[in-house]
């Protein structure tokens, strides 16, 4: 099961849960799963940047998840 970690600013969408385990083959499936747990949350989380196994994605969607993947939701990063 992939480990999913939420930062403080998303806890309002997760009933305060910081970390959960989810079975999902892609990030897209993960969002569907999360939206079933906490309806409406995917709209917000879909706009977040996300780190999957150390790799940061600004716009994740189709990225595959492994059984032991770590997924961190993050603030989007900009730059000058």
Position 57 contacts other proteins (CB under 8 A) = yes
Is residue 24 within 8 Å of residue 33, measured between CB atoms? yes
Position 19 contacts other proteins (CB under 8 A) = no
Position 40 contacts other proteins (CB under 8 A) = no
Position 25 contacts other proteins (CB under 8 A) = no
Is residue 49 within 8 Å of residue 27, measured between CB atoms? no
CB of 33 to other proteins, least distance (A): 19
CB of 11 to other proteins, least distance (A): 6
**Burial of 73: CB neighbours in 10 Å, binned 0-12, 13-18, 19+:** buried
> Would you state the structure tokens that stand for residue 30, as one six-digit string?
């993960």
Contacts with other proteins by CB under 8 A lie at 5, 7-9, 11-12, 16, 47, 51-59, 70, 72-80
């Amino acid at each position: 099961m992939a480990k999913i970690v939420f930062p403080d600013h998303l806890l309002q969408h997760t009933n305060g849960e910081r970390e959960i385990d989810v079975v999902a083959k892609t990030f897209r499936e993960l969002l569907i799963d999360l939206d079933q747990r906490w309806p409406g949350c995917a709209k917000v989380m879909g706009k977040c940047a996300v780190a999957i196994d150390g790799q940061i994605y600004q716009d994740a969607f189709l990225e595959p998840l492994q059984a032991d993947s770590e997924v961190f939701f993050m603030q989007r990063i900009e730059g000058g």
